[in-house]
Amino acid sequence: MIQYILSNGIPLGFFLSFMIGPVFFVLLETSITKGFRAALFFDFGVVLGDIVFIGIAYLGSYRLIQSLKDDPALFIFGGIVMLSYGLISFFKLHKASKNIEEDEEVVELIKNNYFSLLIKGFLLNFINIGVLGFWLLIIITFGPRLQMETANIVWFFTTVILSYLATDVGKILLAKQLRSKLTPANIIKIKKVSSILLIVFGTILLSQGWFPSDKQFVKDTIEKIENK
């Protein structure tokens, strides 16, 4: 069982770390503009959100979770929050970009509040209800092989999370190498890109809530292809 947990949990954690989404880009942006420790606290918040979702997926009723993860209202809520945050950040940065000088000290633009970064990571992950569906799928896929025993489940997801964190640390360290080349103007540009991506992902979440039939159509199409 230990071999199964390690051989599946480690690759899964590595794969998760490279899944393209808002968290992926904000993590890199945080590392580049705020440094290693700030990015790590942000990542801890993301992991905390994952742990909460894993707990809900494991302990909750399957039927309840199935209805929750496909509830259009939750997608709309998450999309609005993410979209609003992206828009507010973008316009604040646009305003700030008019007031900076190229030779201004970079340090003045970078203010680290580690607790707020942790909360930011948690909320950014938690408002994406699709993450709950993903963890439910993981439990459904790997649970039977783990005999649905609590100890096995805990060790499996601990392995996944640790592998995920270790890979993220590598990403953070690589992104940090760009920090020495930053100017205030570059920081603003990086943050603007991050804000735009949040707007895009927020819009995608909203569309999943507004057009659930389209989402179901895509799922049905994929299932038909897989069954051929």
- Which tokens sit at 223? 């299932």
Domain range for 175:
2-227
Region 201-226: what's the mean pLDDT?
58
- pLDDT winner (highest mean) among 70-79, 110-119, 191-200: 110-119
**70 DSSP 8-state letter:** T
> What's the pLDDT at 69?
55
Q: Tell me, what's the pLDDT at 99? A: 55
Residue 212: its pLDDT value, please? 55
Structural domain count, the chain: 1
pLDDT tens-digit readout, 129-175? 778 778 887 887 787 778 878 888 899 999 999 999 999 998 888 87
Sign of the C-alpha dihedral, residues 64, 66, 68, 73?
negative
Percent of the chain at pLDDT > 70 equals: 67
Query: Mean pLDDT, the chain, as a whole number?
Result: 75
For 108, counting Cβ atoms within 10 Å of its Cβ (0-12 exposed, 13-18 middle, 19+ buried), the class is exposed
Return the structure tokens found at 23. Answer: 């968290």
Whole-prediction pTM value? Answer: 0.68
| Separation of alpha carbons 128 and 206, rounded Å | 11
Question: For 14-54, how does the pLDDT look when each residue is reduced to its tens digit (9 = 90+)?
Answer: 888 887 677 888 888 888 888 888 999 999 999 999 999 88
The pLDDT assigned to 106 comes to 43
CA distances from 195 to 25, 117, 188, 190 (A): 10, 15, 10, 9
Contact 138, 13 (CB under 8 A): no
Residue 133 DSSP code: H
Query: What is the rounded average pLDDT of the residues 177-205?
Result: 71
Is residue 75 within 8 A of residue 209, CB to CB? The reply is: yes
pLDDT of 161 reads 94
